[in-house]
Amino acid sequence: MSALLVVLGAVLGAPLRYLTDRAVQSRHGTPFPWGTFTVNVVGSFTLGLLFAAGTAHGLSPRVMTFAGTGFCGALTTFSTFGYETVRLIEQRARFWAVANVVASVAAGLGAAFCGALVGQAI
């Protein structure tokens, strides 16, 4: 049953990641991967919220499996973050590569923390 919940969550998260990435990236003229940055920050916030709400209010393990592992796991993408950072380095866009790493880690952790605060408050 758990595998099915992960798959069902991923069925929602993966297309949302793709569509969000394309929509956001098409609006920016810089080499910075804004689309991947956006989905990773949103996914980090959502996972922080789910974790805190689950801990404080006893969300069922099935909800956590579906939404946390399936949906958030498919929405976020560490491999694309890594690939895009390497691609920026290869293109000699070192500033953008460093900015991507620093901003992604800081914003992802900050978003997860903020999500956890919201999850505890509700």
- Residue 76 labeled ligand binder: yes
Distance between alpha carbon 93 and the CA centroid of its chain, in Å?
23
Cβ atoms of 32 and 96 closer than 8 Å: yes
DSSP of 35-79, one letter per residue? HHHHHHHHHHHHHHHHHHHHHHH---HHHIIIIIIIIIHHH--HH
What is the rounded distance in angstroms from the CA atom of residue 83 to the CA atom of residue 88?
9
State the binding site: 73, 76
Binding site listing for Na(+): 73, 76
